[in-house]
Structure 1
């Protein structure tokens, strides 16, 4: 079933600029004097950012970087990163964003795989490994940024089908894979998401998400499309976060569940009102009690639940607070895209029936870099025969109106004591237990033992008893491991490998109540 053919789903794709530099230049033209990016050191307007990107493009040419080359960034989030991003694109090159905290092991893999011609680092950062690339400090590319009117346009026009970004996955299941993101697909996805989220020129977007993570990076594009301001908060998240949100006048708050849970706890200690009007969530499900706590922390705000993956950026986005009327939904397909739920042979499943989620349309990226076999598996012909689709490997179901309900990854579905279950089902029930701050589950181990992990002040038997009350004794897990906090990857997702390590070292005293 295709969700964009259901009632109420727009069938017309968003239109506009076909490359990201045109998105920035449009923002400078329409919103030039408005603030664009704010970090610990100051703020730039959209005109200032556009001018800085031109200076970067000129300096890249002076360093011998030719159109078509790749530039690896290990810059901290902020104004300099934004200028580098658009400057690289203006020069006809593509950017490979990496976490500034990346280890030498991680960077060595990116250097070997992406083969960048230049590595850009902060002025005060240790020298990164370079392979065959040249290291340049950010101030060298940004020095003497003049007034906007005094800067000639050094742009080398990018082909819409040309590579804009090479985004690497988190690598939680192996070495990271680089996803080739063309200008056309990135701009289409950003415009389609913008149509659903409807950021406003007066919005202030507080972005704690890494800019090497597509959810965090696209906040810059969404702000450019709307003329809104992106705030990159300095330092680590602390007890004063809600006060800082209030002081900055934040109106939009992009979340992953782990960040939402922390902010909810902090807001309980500091319940003074903020200006936050919109909360967005993706990366993992924000449902049940966790969603209720986040809503309570920011009264008067609306929550938009979304689902996607970097291979096509976003698959669905719900209407604001749509999950209240349709619990568990992550919304309908993006405007101009097609959504399917299919069986093992690729045939559409009827509404209400689970199957693999498949997404097709102009937002589909161009595959994995240097990985033809994996590209062929993930980027395959669409079920309706119209172009290429992303076969997500995730399981979901559609309702009669085209709303998607995410049920988990194929690897997260299992049978236990004859019951067909999912890790998401267990995690949702655990988060409904008062006192459970965060939760994770994994399919049964080789010995058949089903384990869950929780961050809570409760004991493991107390958690398991509460879980039995919610899902019944027959489907309850065999073991609960209590941790102070669940380990997280750099992108805010639960670190499954670290949980398995914790399981090996945890005392075997947390059995299921009889």
Structure 2
């Protein structure tokens, strides 16, 4: 039986003095991380966090976030990573929805933490990085006072390791339940096809609240490599210099970052150490694949597809790129996938249908959402087994390679994030003067999809600036529309629903 925290614990035992993580100017060994995580875990347990409790991790990419992930697991609890740009209303929803017992955040969010602690009965333990308000624990103080001894483990591999919230077509975030055995299997499968070894140095600019970013950390600690953790890709030049300085071998991308890279003059930078590049979150266009291969000729390029409900699902072996640049590949090792039509009939080459996924990476369902769970996770061929119905449409070629066609619902993938139009529409409709609204995704060479909002006003008292200001106040950065279009009316179907297809 292997648990997710064993990724750190085994590497700390095997190579205690090896650099595990580089973050800005800081460097930490596996032994240091093991000690820091143990201290925080001891503090969580001492302050009432129990087996199976949920702990919200509301931090930007940082050393403290990495420590908190493993500390929560060592405390026999379930970590819930939250994007650091999340607004207070959504954070409160998440905390209530999962009945969080703990919260780790940073000084900037101290007032929000205190407010949550007062309004959410389950939230008993709050740890703050930096100056801690009254009633909260200091992260630094914990590291100075608590024991570095590893807490006793009560967890088994069937227990939940994390809840990762994802938006659905209803607009209400749902927590995807990932058990330890799900995460261990998914990480192991991906490591096997990337052929990772302890010599790999992975640079990650993606938020650890995003499963693609999170697994860069988990996998690197599992194979005993080194993770170079950046806050973001907002300033490309320092990040690109870091690739050469740290001799980075692995670079995970999303289409947004790929598009930025392709617009830059990369000649001043040394990328000779890069062994592989990965892409997921949205498919790269064949032209971008070709351009990336020209920019990084020595690196293997892995085009992949996944969803939070299964982590990774498909990958295209790099040697197939030239022949199948539009494909996202085959099922990851140890899994299978196929296509079905709406009657449940399995489809053959050339036919378009919904992707169905089978394997140990199929997660446990949605936290306390039995109806949504039943719709997505359906019975498999073995009694008690669950398959994942992706909601995405694919076709298979005559060699068994999968090609993404489109989404069954209207979820927008922008900047590598899944965005539910309904969430944005709800915020827009809360603005006085807005009568109705519709939000869609439109193709964008940098973002993958840009977010466009159509708005019908009661009168002309609102401007585009007013609407965007309201959005920025209530939405995470990646959910704010890039375009606003005012209309007198919106097209409707015969049953009165807004006909979004007519807006595209």
TM-score using structure 2 length:
0.76
- The DSSP-based 3-state class of the residue aligned with 2:259 is helix
Give CA deviations for 1:456-495 in whole Å, capped at 9, x if unaligned: 9xxxxxxxxxxxxxxxxxxxxxxxxxxxxxx999797xx6
C-alpha separation in 1, matches of 2:214 and 2:353? 30
Give CA deviations for 1:100-136 in whole Å, capped at 9, x if unaligned: 2211111011111011111111244443241322422
Say if 2:285 is the partner of 1:303: no
C-alpha separation in 2, matches of 1:213 and 1:451? 20
Could you say if the C-alpha distance between residues 367 and 126 of structure 1 is closer, same or farther in structure 2, counting changes exceeding 3 Å? same
C-alpha separation in 2, matches of 1:29 and 1:259? 36
- Normalized per residue, the structure richer in strand is 2
Say if 2:127 is the partner of 1:136: yes
- How far did residue 268 of structure 1 move? 4.1
Say if 2:278 is the partner of 1:280: yes
Aligned match for 1:165, one of 162, 165, 169: 162
- How far did residue 301 of structure 1 move? 1.0
The alignment of Structure 1 onto Structure 2 pairs a total of residues equal to 422
Q: Conserved in 2, the CA contact under 8 Å of 1:261 and 1:293?
A: no
- How far did residue 155 of structure 1 move? 3.1
- How far did residue 343 of structure 1 move? 1.4
> What does 1:179-258 align with in structure 2 at a 5 Å threshold?
179-234=176-231, 237-240=234-237, 241-258=239-256
Match of 1:409 in 2: 407
C-alpha separation in 2, matches of 1:323 and 1:170? 31
Could you say if the C-alpha distance between residues 235 and 336 of structure 1 is closer, same or farther in structure 2, counting changes exceeding 3 Å? closer
- How far did residue 229 of structure 1 move? 1.0
Give CA deviations for 1:125-180 in whole Å, capped at 9, x if unaligned: 4432413224221463454758x9x8322132312111110100146750211111
Aligned match for 1:70, one of 54, 76, 79: 54
- How far did residue 32 of structure 1 move? 2.2
CA RMSD of aligned residues (A): 3.1
Could you say if the C-alpha distance between residues 412 and 114 of structure 1 is closer, same or farther in structure 2, counting changes exceeding 3 Å? closer
Give CA deviations for 1:203-239 in whole Å, capped at 9, x if unaligned: 2211111111100001111101221111112465225
- How far did residue 46 of structure 1 move? 1.5
Match of 1:117 in 2: 101
Q: Conserved in 2, the CA contact under 8 Å of 1:72 and 1:95?
A: yes
Could you say if the C-alpha distance between residues 239 and 171 of structure 1 is closer, same or farther in structure 2, counting changes exceeding 3 Å? same
Higher relative contact order (CA 8 A, sep 6+): 1
- How far did residue 59 of structure 1 move? 0.8
- How far did residue 280 of structure 1 move? 0.3
C-alpha separation in 2, matches of 1:81 and 1:349? 44
- The DSSP-based 3-state class of the residue aligned with 1:153 is coil
C-alpha separation in 2, matches of 1:297 and 1:344? 42
C-alpha separation in 1, matches of 2:13 and 2:441? 55
Q: Conserved in 1, the CA contact under 8 Å of 2:3 and 2:184?
A: yes
Match of 1:327 in 2: 325
Match of 1:362 in 2: 360
- How far did residue 272 of structure 1 move? 4.6
- The DSSP-based 3-state class of the residue aligned with 1:308 is strand
- The DSSP-based 3-state class of the residue aligned with 1:261 is helix
C-alpha separation in 2, matches of 1:491 and 1:386? 40
C-alpha separation in 2, matches of 1:374 and 1:98? 21
Could you say if the C-alpha distance between residues 143 and 293 of structure 1 is closer, same or farther in structure 2, counting changes exceeding 3 Å? farther
Say if 2:85 is the partner of 1:101: yes
Structure 1 segments unaligned to the other structure (5+ residues): 1-16, 414-422, 428-441, 443-449, 457-486, 506-514
C-alpha separation in 1, matches of 2:82 and 2:386? 28
Match of 1:502 in 2: 484
C-alpha separation in 1, matches of 2:389 and 2:403? 16
Q: Conserved in 2, the CA contact under 8 Å of 1:55 and 1:142?
A: no
